[in-house]
Amino acid sequence: NAGVTQTPKFRILKIGQSMTLQCTQDMNHNYMYWYRQDPGMGLKLIYYSVGAGITDKGEVPNGYNVSRSTTEDFPLRLELAAPSQTSVYFCASSYLGNTIYFGEGSWLTVV
């Protein structure tokens, strides 16, 4: 049972670089989410999607972009990385607002 899989698990970026965090789920969930969690803090919603072709901004979308071309995949793009984007990123999915399932997290450091 793969569930929600996100890659990479760890990444160090230089200021100004770009990268994509990959996320895929095999549960046929319609809802997918990207959160960031800063040290000792709660989760902040970056973007979410209620289905293929539909994305919406969350609480902290600036500096990020997403796409949802398929039900399974929901990549998060960081453009022009900044130190403020150093965080742990969690992808998650759910079906119509039922239990949300999280990936294992991606630790990103921008130096």
Q: Which tokens is 5 given?
A: 């899989």
Q: Is 20 exposed, middle or buried (0-12, 13-18, 19+ CB in 10 A)?
A: middle
Per-residue mark of binding to other proteins, 53-92 (x: CB under 8 A): ---x-x-------------------------------x-x
Interaction pattern, residues 7-46, with other proteins; x per rule: CB under 8 A: ------------------------x-x-x-----xxx-x-
Task: Kindly state the smallest distance separating residue 104's Cβ from other proteins, in Å.
Answer: 5
In angstroms, the CA 46 to CA 28 distance is 21
Picking from 92, 89, 11, the residue whose alpha carbon sits closest to that of residue 49 is 92
Nearest-angstrom CA–CA distance, 46 and 78: 11
The yes or no reply on residue 97 touching other proteins (CB under 8 A) is yes
- List residues binding other proteins (CB under 8 A): 31, 33, 35, 41-43, 45, 48, 50, 56, 58, 90, 92, 94, 97-105
